[in-house]
Structures are given as structure tokens and as C-alpha cells.
Structure 1
């Protein structure tokens, strides 16, 4: 329901950024040749549609909101890959590697502008409130991304070190903001009461932190064929992630060996990367990250159960939560 409308709106942009956007969405190859399938799971679209239905509206009420969030999500990925220097996304060259940094920035800007155009033109009485919600949540996303980049410059230990709590607050902004926005926009465009909109937004934000925790684990131990990312990529860049920070905070001998390894000068070679990953696990970082993911999923469930929702779509929302983060229960 959402993707045909999304393709039509992206296709109405200037042909060059439209091609780059199509590449980022997984709809075409570099050069514009159509490609079967698409990138991603459409999670934000599903959240928006299900939250509209849970609020008692037909799914169609959420299409513009679903499109807007998907557009700004893809915008954020285009720019994030540039900021982080990530050369691949989903087993293909990142858009900036395929087209160049400047063109990829331009494509992201075009998607950002289109998102607000779509939402501002949404029929019904709630378009203005929806635009304000998206604006606020995008500001949160920027705050989170700023903190994430600044974390990279801070030491691993000592007074300036990044604490686990600070990392989780960053993740709620950087990753949780758009998932919360998707849920809120679906309910808002459905005309749900403010308490329901806020509860669904909070559920989405908790889901975002759970997703980030699992994503951090996959960044250390995931299969590159599945994740589309190089193994140990975050460690290689000495990026602050939840398993590493939790391991350092554990205060066990493995924590101290890990801190010494990460604080050393020069790049980490493959043997050192494997050793660091082993020390993170030995210090309990992997288990702590997965426990945090499960706790956040429980909070999201509590939010959904705390407000009156239509039973069938509410049940599908509850089923969607663990799927988003790849958890079995």
C-alpha cells in the first residue's frame, strides 16, 4: 500500500536525485536499471499503518505519515554513511561510494524536503500537527547523531569517558526518534487522543533503543553476509557501542585489558580486533546489551498495553516488536 505511493513521489523528483534515491531504496542499480526487491524491511511503514489501525482508523489514513518517515529515514542513512565513512550498505556500495559524496548529500536533501512536502499535503485536519511532530523528532535525531559523533572523540576511561546511561540516551534520540515518530504519526493522522499518540511514540522510542542494542551486537559478532557490514567494523573505528561500554563499566580484569587494548596508538589489526571482541564478551558486554534490548522491548509492550487500542492491530504491533530487533520472544 505504501511503496507504490512512495515510488510515485520519489519518481516526481529531478531525475538525478530520483535515481540515487531509488538506488538507496534498493529499487534500481547504479545507472537506473530496475532491480528486483527493495532495501530494508519497511518497519517504519508498518508501525505507522498499524498504529493508525490500532487507533481505530483505516490503514490508508497513515500512508502519508508512513511515506514521510521512510523518506527521512533514507535521508538519514545517506548522510550517516558519509559521516561514518561506511562504504557498504546491504551488500552494495553505499550511495556516496557509487555516486560521490556531493551527489549523495544532494539526494538526501531532496528526500528530506519531499518528506515534509508529503506530510504538509496530507488531507484531513491533522497535517499541521503531523509536520510539527516530524520536525521535533528530526531535531531529536540530529541531537543523537551529534552526540554519537562527539562520543568518538572521548576517551575510553577516566572522567571524560562515555557512560552507559549517556549512550542509551543518545540511542533513544538517534535511533528511537524515527521509530517513535512513525508510531506517533500513524496515531496522530488517525485522530487518536494525545495520550494514545504519546504512548505509541514512547513504545517506538523504546523499540529504537532495543534495535540499537542488537545492532551493536551484530556490529561485533554478526555475519557480514547477513548484516551487510564488515565484521568488527565498529571496533576497527574505535566507535563507542553498548557492548563495549558495558564491558568497560563491568570493572573485571577483562575490562582493564580491553581498555588498554582500545587506548593503544595506531590501528587495530585483525588479531587485536578478535582479541577485543573476545574481551567484550568475557566482561559481559554482549550479555548486557542483549539484556538491555529485552528490557526495552518489555517497556514498549507496557506502553502498548497501557492505552485502549483496537485488539487485532494491537496484537500485530506486539508481534512486530521482537521481529524488528531479531529476538525470538
Structure 2
């Protein structure tokens, strides 16, 4: 984001977890139909449209798989015990992105055309379904006697994801102000379900497959949910002020789409001329064009939306840290988790 301090280097746990989990992810995609497997590999940034490895494509951060591995290690188990859970959450994340891009009409993802733009809407839906089925199968086959409990937790997470996405879509039809507008509580609930539930599931599955006690699993799930709200808040900042060279999406994209993101909602909740002018721009008959979106971004900042969103992210990151207090966790893993939180708080991609 312009004016933000340089982001810290990615924590080593991201690369370490990717190397550990990648062979199992490859196996999972290898069991798909060749066509859906091709689309899945493209969506994950592994290949181009011809199936050739694409060195220039982004594979994302691998956050969810890292959380699963880290949770198992924090509970005293080897990282490989969490691999089925790590694969499952990565596949569910990929599935959700495929379907989200269709619902939101997004044409770019990580600086490349989205799957539905390249293959069509129907094939992209099918590829997402294939990823979801593979996630459940991978988890159901997990060794160690915890497969049933793991699948049950994943199924609850999927229900949460659908609930969060439903709220996010319904927000579009609600007014910007007034009794029916989207308030902070409704926004947090949406973000926890849409984003936080899968991050919580990643931590919970890692702990569960690592043999942790139920209380530890529950506390790590809560930590992930708080992390998800913080993650979504930072995502909202990037949706307005993020550098397209890093985000892979158009500048001011969320404002052009008039999405009800936290910075905008916080700005409108303030009083003063900036909030009133912003409301007028957002309520105009036509979506904001480039100059109008740029003006709107400036008004959001003037009205305090950016500052409020950063504060919201920090509150939930602190809450995530608090969830770890008193748990019987390995100190080195807790340190890596803290490093990961710091990285995510300052991410620019």
C-alpha cells in the first residue's frame, strides 16, 4: 500500500510447509479427471493453459497449509502428521476462489485471467467442485484414527464459508446508511465466516491430526477466526490502495464495484464533509469511473476509514495472540506463529 512501511520477509514456515505439503497436493490433483486437473493446476499457479509449468505465475502465500503444519508442530507432533489437513484446506481455499471469482465477476487473479474467463463459467464451477471433493476425500483417508473428526470439522467449516459468502453477496443490496445498513458487527460476522472459518479450521485440523486435546483444538480454531477477520480487513485495504503489480487486480477495484468493505463502512460512519461526499459518489446511478474511484479513495482516507481498518486488524491480531496464552504449545512454534502474524499484518501481496 502506498505510504506503508516495507513488508517483512515471508516467514520460513511458509516455504517449509509448501515443500512438505506439495507432493501430497500433486497426488490429490493427479486423481482428478485430466480436464478438471488442468484447470485446478492453472488456478493454483502451477501451469499455464497448455499445462506447461509457469515460472512467472504466483502460487499464493500457502498460508492455510502453513497454519496446519505449524499447529501440529506446536502440539508436539511432526509436521507431516498435518499434511492431509493442510492439503484439504488448500484445496477448499482454491475451490472457494474459483467460485468467488465467478460470483464477483472478477477477471483477474494473481495477475492472470481467472479460470472462468479462460475456460468458461461451467467448467470453472466443475473444477471448483472437483477440488472440494478431493479435499474431503484426502481428509477422509487421513491415517491415525482422527479422519472422522477431521471431516466433521471440515464440513462445519464449509457451512460457515457458505454463510459468510451469502452475507457478503447480500450486502450489495443493502443501503450505505440507515437502519438496514451494514454495521461493524455484521461485517465482522461475515469476515469470520467467509475468511476466518477456514484459517481456524487449518489450525484446528493440524492440532487434531497431531493428537492435541479438544480444548487446545478449540483455542487454535478461535485464534484462526480472529486472524481471518484481520486478514479480511487488510484485504479490504489492498482492494482500495493495493498496488496492482502485487495484488493482480485493478487499482481501486473494490470502489469501482461499490463493495461494502470495512474502510468504506468505517468512513461513512464518521461525520463531516468527506463522509457526505463519499456517500454521494457511492449512491450515484453509475459505478465510479477511474477519476471518481480515485476521489472516493481519498475521501475514505480523509474520513478515517483507512486508520479504522488498520486498528480493526490490529485488534484481531492481538486477540489471535491472546488465544494462545496458557496453551501447552512448543515455544519455537509459537514464535513462528508470531512471525506469521507480523508478516500478515504488513502484507502487500
Coarse TM-score class (shorter-chain normalised):
over 0.9
Matches within 5 A, 1:135-284: 135-284=155-304
CA distance in 2, matches of 1:100, 1:16: 13
Q: Does residue 27 of the first structure (1) align with residue 41 of the second (2)?
A: no
CA distance in 2, matches of 1:115, 1:327: 27
What is the RMSD computed on CA atoms of the aligned residues? 1.2
More displaced, 50-59 or 159-168? Answer: 159-168
Three-state SS of the structure 2 residue aligned to 1:305 is coil
**1:123 is matched with which residue?**
143
Structure 1 stretches lacking a partner, 5+ long: none
More displaced, 13-22 or 264-273? Answer: 264-273
Per-residue deviation at 1:257? 1.4
CA distance in 2, matches of 1:306, 1:326: 27
Q: Does residue 82 of the first structure (1) align with residue 69 of the second (2)?
A: no
Q: For each residue in 1:214-248, what CA deviation from the matched residue of structure 2 results, as whole angstroms up to 9, or x when unmatched? A: 11011111110011110111111111000000000
CA distance in 2, matches of 1:163, 1:58: 43
CA distance in 1, matches of 2:192, 2:30: 32
Three-state SS of the structure 1 residue aligned to 2:324 is helix
Per-residue deviation at 1:298? 0.5
Per-residue deviation at 1:327? 5.6
Q: Does residue 105 of the first structure (1) align with residue 130 of the second (2)?
A: no
Q: Does residue 60 of the first structure (1) align with residue 80 of the second (2)?
A: yes
- Aligned partners of 1:203 and 1:300 also within 8 Å: yes
CA distance in 1, matches of 2:194, 2:256: 21
**Residue 10 of structure 1 is aligned with which of 29, 34, 41?**
29
**Structure 1 length-normalised TM:** 0.97
CA distance in 1, matches of 2:48, 2:299: 40
Structure 2 stretches lacking a partner, 5+ long: 1-19
CA distance in 2, matches of 1:119, 1:320: 25
**2:68 is matched with which residue?**
48
- Aligned partners of 1:82 and 1:96 also within 8 Å: yes
Three-state SS of the structure 2 residue aligned to 1:304 is coil
CA distance in 1, matches of 2:154, 2:345: 23
Q: For each residue in 1:132-182, what CA deviation from the matched residue of structure 2 results, as whole angstroms up to 9, or x when unmatched? A: 000001100110000000000111112211112211110011010110100
Per-residue deviation at 1:255? 1.1
- Aligned partners of 1:78 and 1:105 also within 8 Å: yes
Per-residue deviation at 1:38? 4.9
**Structure 2 length-normalised TM:** 0.92
